[in-house]
C-alpha cells in the first residue's frame, strides 16, 4: 500500500483555541482520508465553525497542528489556501447580486490568477487572457451544477436554492482537493436541502473531492457523511459513523440537555441545534 493510501489528507492534532480568556476548543484531534465525506456536528456553541475557522486560517489556534497533504497548514498564509487546493463556503450567502451567474462563479478563480490590479482594472494583456481562460474553466462547473438555464437571469431574482448552488460552483472554481462546507443547507426547506445534497454528491463524485461539512440537518449528515466528529463545549464526544453518533447516549445528552421524557421533544429544549429522532433518543437510554 502506498503512502498516499495510508496518510490522511487532513490531519488535525490537539487543536486548542482561546479567545479573550474563553476556551473555545480543547485538544481536538481527528484526520480525514482522501475521498472521505467527514462531518462535524454538535449543539450550538460547540465550536464547530471555530474549528473550520482554524483550518481555513481565519483563527490562529493557541495550540496544536494541522497538516494538509503533508504541508503544515498553520504556517501557510490564508491567501495561499486556494493554491494548496482548499476551498470553503460560509453559512451566509456572499454572492454579488449585481453580477450574473458566470461572473460570480469566475470570482472563485481570482486567487489562481496572477494579473496585477492595474492590468486587471483596464482588462488588457495577461488580465484579458486569464479572464478568458477562467471563464472557459468555469463552463464545465456551470454544466455540472445545472446552472446553464440561469446564466441570463439576475442573481437577485433567483430562488435561494439556486443561489446556494451558485455559491457551491464558485467554491469548486478553485479546483479544490478539500472542500469545507459550513452549514450548506442553512435557511433551506426540505425540498431544497434534498436537491442540494444531490448536487454536493455529484460534485464529490465527478471532481474526486474530499469534504468536511458542518451541518445541523441530521438527515443530511446521515445521508452524506462517512464519519462524524461530535463536539460539545469545544471538546470531542466521539468520532464514528453518523448513525452510530446520533445513537450515542453522550451525544443525545449533549443535544437534549436533559434526561427527562420531556427532552424527547427537541422543540422543548433551548440548546438543541438539530433534531434527534425520538425513537433514537428513547432507544439509547434503555
pLDDT, residue 271, reads 30
Alpha-carbon distance of 121 to 130, in angstroms, equals 13
Q: Give φ, ψ of 87 to 5 degrees.
A: -130, 155
Contacts for 64 with CB less than 8 Å, ≥ 6 apart: 12, 13, 14, 15, 16, 27, 28, 29
pLDDT, residue 126, reads 65
pLDDT, residue 125, reads 54
Q: How do residues 210-238 score in pLDDT, each as one tens digit?
A: 999 999 888 899 999 999 999 999 999 99
Alpha-carbon distance of 65 to 185, in angstroms, equals 29
**Residue ranges in the chain assigned as alpha helix (H):** 3-6, 48-55, 81-84, 101-106, 117-122, 126-144, 160-172, 190-207, 218-224, 242-247, 249-256, 278-284
Measured between its terminal Cα atoms, the distance across the chain in Å is 43
User: Please, what is the Cα angle at 76 between 95 and 239, to 5 degrees?
Assistant: 80
pLDDT, residue 238, reads 96
CB crowding 102-131: b at 16 or more within 10 Å, else e = bebbbbbbeeebebeeeebeeeeeebeebb
pLDDT, residue 112, reads 60
Alpha-carbon distance of 250 to 270, in angstroms, equals 18
**pLDDT string in tens for the chain (286-residue length):** 333 456 899 999 999 999 888 999 999 999 999 999 999 999 999 999 999 999 999 999 999 999 999 999 999 988 889 899 999 998 888 788 888 899 899 988 876 665 543 344 444 556 677 778 888 889 999 999 999 999 878 898 899 999 999 999 999 999 999 999 999 999 899 999 999 999 999 999 999 999 999 998 888 999 999 999 999 999 999 999 999 999 999 999 988 764 433 333 332 333 333 444 443 334 433 3
CA neighbor of 216 nearest in space, from 235, 242, 239, 179: 242
Confirm if 50 and 22 have CB atoms less than 8 A apart: no
Q: How do residues 93-138 score in pLDDT, each as one tens digit?
A: 878 888 889 989 998 887 666 554 334 444 455 667 777 888 888 9
pLDDT, residue 92, reads 82
CA neighbor of 141 nearest in space, from 189, 117, 174, 164: 174
Alpha-carbon distance of 28 to 212, in angstroms, equals 15
Amino acid at each position: 500500500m502506498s503512502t498516499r493510501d495510508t496518510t490522511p489528507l487532513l490531519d488535525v492534532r490537539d487543536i486548542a483555541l482561546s479567545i479573550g480568556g474563553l476556551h473555545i476548543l480543547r485538544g481536538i484531534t481527528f484526520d480525514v482520508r482522501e475521498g472521505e465525506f467527514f462531518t462535524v456536528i454538535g449543539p450550538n456553541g460547540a465550536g464547530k465553525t471555530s474549528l473550520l475557522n482554524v483550518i481555513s486560517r481565519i483563527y490562529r489556534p493557541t495550540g496544536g497542528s494541522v497538516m494538509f497533504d503533508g504541508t503544515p497548514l498553520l504556517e501557510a498564509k490564508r491567501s495561499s489556501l486556494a493554491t494548496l487546493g482548499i476551498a470553503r463556503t460560509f453559512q451566509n450567502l456572499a454572492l454579488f447580486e449585481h453580477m450574473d451567474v458566470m461572473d460570480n462563479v469566475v470570482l472563485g478563480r481570482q486567487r489562481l490568477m496572477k494579473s496585477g490590479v492595474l492590468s486587471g482594472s483596464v482588462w488588457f494583456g495577461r488580465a484579458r487572457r486569464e479572464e478568458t481562460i477562467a471563464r472557459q474553466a468555469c463552463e464545465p462547473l456551470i454544466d455540472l451544477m445545472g446552472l446553464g438555464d440561469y446564466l441570463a437571469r439576475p442573481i437577485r431574482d433567483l430562488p435561494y436554492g439556486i443561489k446556494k448552488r451558485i455559491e457551491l460552483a464558485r467554491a469548486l472554481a478553485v479546483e479544490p482537493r478539500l472542500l469545507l462546507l459550513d452549514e450548506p443547507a442553512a435557511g433551506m426547506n426540505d425540498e431544497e436541502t434534498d436537491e442540494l445534497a444531490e448536487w454536493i454528491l455529484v460534485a464529490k463524485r465527478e471532481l474526486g473531492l474530499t469534504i468536511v461539512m458542518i451541518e445541523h440537518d441530521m438527515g443530511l449528515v446521515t445521508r452524506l457523511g462517512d464519519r462524524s466528529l461530535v463536539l460539545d463545549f469545544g471538546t470531542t464526544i466521539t468520532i464514528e459513523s453518523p448513525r452510530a453518533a446520533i445513537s450515542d447516549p453522550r451525544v443525545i445528552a449533549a443535544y437534549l440537555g436533559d434526561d427527562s421524557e420531556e427532552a424527547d421533544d427537541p422543540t422543548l429544549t433551548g440548546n438543541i441545534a438539530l433534531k434527534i429522532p425520538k425513537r433514537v433518543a428513547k432507544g439509547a437510554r434503555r
